[in-house]
Amino acid sequence: MGIGDIVYMNMMGQSLVVLNTAQAASDLLDKRSAIYSDRVCAPMVKNPALSLPDQPFRLDWSGFAGMLPYSDLWRRQRRRLNNWLNIRAVRQFDHLQQDVVRSMLGRIHDISGSTELFEKVKHQFFFAMASATFRLAYGYHIQSDQDPFFLDAVQASDNLFAATMMGNFLVNAFPALSYIPQWLPGAGWKRIAKKWREHKNRAVDTPYEWTKNQVASGNFEPSVLSALLQDEKIDQGLSQEERDKELKELAYVLFLGESGTGTSATALVNFVAAMVLNPEVQAKAQAELDSVLGYASRLPTMSDETQLPYIRNLILEVHRWQPVGPTGGPPHACYQDDVYQGYNIQKGTIVMGNLWAMTRDEAVYQDPEHFNPDRFLDPNIPPVPTYGWGRRKCPGMHFAEASLFLAISSLLTNFNFLRKKDKEGKEIIPTIEGSCNSLAVPIKPFEFELRLRSKDHNQLILDNVTAKSTNVSVSK
């Protein structure tokens, strides 16, 4: 195979197929999802072969939905998530996201005139989006970015994504190292993994037991986990031990999706970059918001979404202009031998989409480097498959999109994102560059200014901020 719709590579014995067009990705990952929904996990994360017994020097994330092979357990976990995160059911959590976003507005208001603005704003985005998913999963309000639950969960996620990167640990490139004794040179990864596994167990177990106790006492906030704990029908035939294990892994995977890659937070940073580079887009979006909400009259809610089509198209363009996940999520694996366009794809082949190539396809997106929300006025222009394909599409996508809508519309309602000026008063146009971070591609820091639109908007924020006691530091 050559450069084109599909590219084949062999990396140290592992076959890899990269799909460079939306058509190829749809043909395989959507239309043939029954055989392209498997997973291949790094040996550092789980046993590379079922013949190996469970070992304490592995992280053992093998039971988490995003890493499960295409199996009955995966189907059961997916069914649980779909029951509570489908487009209708997720609306019951709108108030949760609104509270988190309004609290974020207050904190960004407080740092708007400070130095090192990029890192501080990015941290507030991450804390807000991660807090929302933690509350969705457990019904627990993270009190600060020093909250033990939050710190444990973030560290466990960081460890996991470090473990999945091929170059970080030799065992990922040479699975045979799994068999060498722990005391031999080259087996230091086993000690690291053992330590990380113990940390992972604490991060997963502690919030699960907290929610379980809250439900038992009758004093709990509605969440995905609290609902699942009360719904025994879906778990008929499982022992209590099996049920506990599956539910605690399921709850944590909701938080993992945001904390591990910072997908929503990274999208918000990309939005800021787009506004700084395209002030005319920002002005047009604010005009639409003012026409629907009134000037500094109120903050947006999810009920306003249908009346704000330009904001919706702006979010679609953020996803296209700077795709957060270059592969649309973790790579798929072929479940059985297949043939596509005359090429043989063997069972076990890793298959991934190339979102960057898709978003730069000039046959689909005219002038792809230009940020233009109006391109989506054409019903023939497809949205980017940000949340993946087929049966492995992110189950939390509706919650994530609602979070982005509330955050972006609220930020534009109240703030202007501006270019900095040099000593001569000339605007400095920032250069936007990406930096690879495994499953996500965050952009490198750039300079900008953040100002309230008016004194009336200052008062609007002060009147609406919730959870003012939340104490979040402005440096990471």
Q: Is the pLDDT of residue 385 over 50?
A: yes
% of the chain beyond a pLDDT of 90? 66
CA distance 354 to 328: 8
Give pLDDT tens digits for 205-226.
999 999 999 999 999 999 999 9
Integer CA distances (angstroms), 323 to 41, 122, 266, 387, 397, in order = 23, 17, 9, 10, 15
Which band of pLDDT confidence, cut at 50, 70 and 90, is reported for residue 308? Answer: very high
- Residue 472, pLDDT > 60, answer no
Distance CA 404, CA 269 (A): 11
Can you give the residue ranges of every domain in the chain?
A: 6-464
Residue 436 pLDDT level (bands cut at 50, 70, 90): low
pLDDT band per the 50, 70, 90 thresholds, residue 261: low
Q: Which two tokens stand for residue 276?
A: 């700084």
At residue 56, the pLDDT reads 56
Average pLDDT of the chain is 89
Distances from the Cα of 231 to the Cα of 175, 227, 239, angstroms: 40, 6, 14
Q: Report the pLDDT value the prediction gives residue 224, as an integer from 0 to 100.
A: 95
Q: At how many degrees (to 10) do helices 397-414 and 455-464 cross? A: 140
pLDDT attached to residue 16? 94
Asked if residue 334 belongs to a known ligand binding site, the reply is: no
Give the mean pLDDT of 404-426: 96
Say which amino acid occupies 336.
Q
Burial 33-60 (b: 16+ CB within 10 A, else e): bebbbbbbbbbbbbbbeeeeeeeebbbb
Mean pLDDT computed over 125-138? 94
pLDDT in tens, 287-296: 999 999 999 9
Q: CB atoms < 10 A from the CB of 141, how many?
A: 16
Asked whether residue 453 carries a pLDDT value surpassing 90, the answer given is yes
Residue 57: its pLDDT value, please?
Answer: 57
CATH topology of domain 6-464: Cytochrome p450 (1.10.630)
Cβ neighbours, 10 Å, residue 455: 9
Assign 3-state DSSP to the chain and report helix, strand, coil percentages, each to 5. 55, 10, 40
Cβ atoms of 128 and 410 closer than 8 Å: no
What is the reported pLDDT for 293? 98
Q: Name 17's bridge partners.
A: 8, 351
The predicted structure's pLDDT at residue 253: 87
Q: Which residues share a beta bridge with 418?
A: 449
Instruction: For residue 259, name the pLDDT band (cuts at 50, 70, 90).
Output: low
Whether 440 shows a pLDDT value over 80: the answer reads: no
Of the spans 72-76, 107-111, 167-171, 432-436, which averages the highest pLDDT? 107-111
Distance CA 260, CA 381 (A): 31
